Amino acid sequence: MGDGVRPGFEPNCPKGLMTPVLQPLGGGRMGSKLYEIGKYVNANAVIKYIGERRHEDGGYCFVTLLDETNINDTYYAVKIYDLLELKIPEREKTAQFLFSAAGKQTAVVAVAMAVEGMVLLGAKDLAEKKLDLLFSKYNPLEGRFAVGLGGSEEFGTSTPLEATYWVLRALKALNYRMDLEMKGRIRDFIMEFKKGDGFGVKQPTTTMTYQAIFSLNALGYDVPRTRHFDACEVYGGFTEVPYSLPPYLEPTFYAIRGLRLLGDRPRYIKSHINFIRALQNPNGGFRRSLEMGISNFQNTYRALRALDDLLAF
């Protein structure tokens, strides 16, 4: 690709949508992650799927023809480009989109996503300006943990630890230092959901167990050992609760991340890789289930991230 090429409109591209010319980080050859992941899934189709859903305002929307750019899709687009070691088209415009989109009416999960996304885009100064907004919605010292609020990024439901997990991701990205009292309040809140060998509301679940151990680790506390993820491992994917079927992408992603955090590894790595490969749709994106489902950005990121982790074990 010549140095003079810049992102722009492709012929026959719907109005408002932009297909970028992608370049590797630092110029030269495409990133090694893209090459390695491309051995197992159609990486070029992934790039096309994401790029065709970028809009003029710098935001993204996973529904091709809708001009409804949002923080969730934009965050996961940034995460995918970062994972594949690709330059993000017009990163300053995307950072400004995230900054403008995170307002007083925005749910705390989305604000936290916007903050982390801006840091990834190199706009830490903009991200820091959203700290007051973040703490106006999530304030452990006042007993406000944003439980049950809208804006969940999960499929169909949220968890009581979801806001805590995303806020701590954002603060970690900013290298924000909390005082001991705040850390202690958050830890006590997390431990309220300890259930047997994991974390959950009525029983341990893969999502909440990962959110809990990630959050405790981010706070600087020892991560409690758990066999929950092992009990949810099947021959190709992971489940949300032990000894159940079918596997879905979300618990597979969280379980693999959890095992990495614990210094453990899955038993059926090749089968998990084949499970993830089978989730790619013809449009290049990934769905959550073997049976059916549409592509979206969060599933696509989770599939690629989980695949990359599996290849590293």
- In angstroms, the CA 240 to CA 231 distance is 10
pLDDT > 80? residue 6: no
Amino acid sitting at position 110: A
Sketch the domain layout of the chain as residue ranges: 1-101, 107-219, 227-313
Question: Residue 7: what pLDDT?
Answer: 29
Question: Residue 146: what pLDDT?
Answer: 86
Name which residue leads in pLDDT, 154 or 188: 188
Residue 111's nearest CA partner among 146, 154, 159, 84 is 146
pLDDT in tens, 268-291: 999 999 999 999 999 999 999 999
Name which residue leads in pLDDT, 11 or 82: 82
Q: What burial letters (b/e) apply to 49-80, b meaning 16+ CB within 10 Å?
A: bbbbbbbebbbbbbeeeeeebbbbbbbbbbbb
Question: Residue 137: what pLDDT?
Answer: 94
pLDDT in tens, 250-263: 999 999 999 999 99
- In angstroms, the CA 228 to CA 78 distance is 31
Question: Residue 247: what pLDDT?
Answer: 97
Phi, psi of 41 (to 5 degrees): -135, 170
Cα–Cα distances in angstroms (integers) from residue 102 to residues 33, 111, 152, 168, in the given order: 31, 5, 15, 17
Here the tokens at position 286 are 């990934």
Phi, psi of 77 (to 5 degrees): -60, -45
Establish how many alpha carbons lie within 13 A of residue 15's alpha carbon, considering only the half-sphere containing its beta carbon: 0
pLDDT > 70? residue 8: no
pLDDT > 80? residue 156: no
Question: Residue 66: what pLDDT?
Answer: 74
In this prediction, residue 131 has a pLDDT band, given cuts at 50, 70 and 90, of: very high
Mean pLDDT along residues 43-68: 92
Here the tokens at position 96 are 């400004």
Whether the model pTM is above 0.85: yes
Question: Residue 27: what pLDDT?
Answer: 40
State the distance between the two ends of the chain, measured CA to CA, in whole angstroms: 34
pLDDT > 50? residue 306: yes
User: Which residues have a Cβ under 8 Å from the Cβ of 100 and sit 6 or more positions away?
Assistant: none
In this prediction, residue 243 has a pLDDT band, given cuts at 50, 70 and 90, of: very high
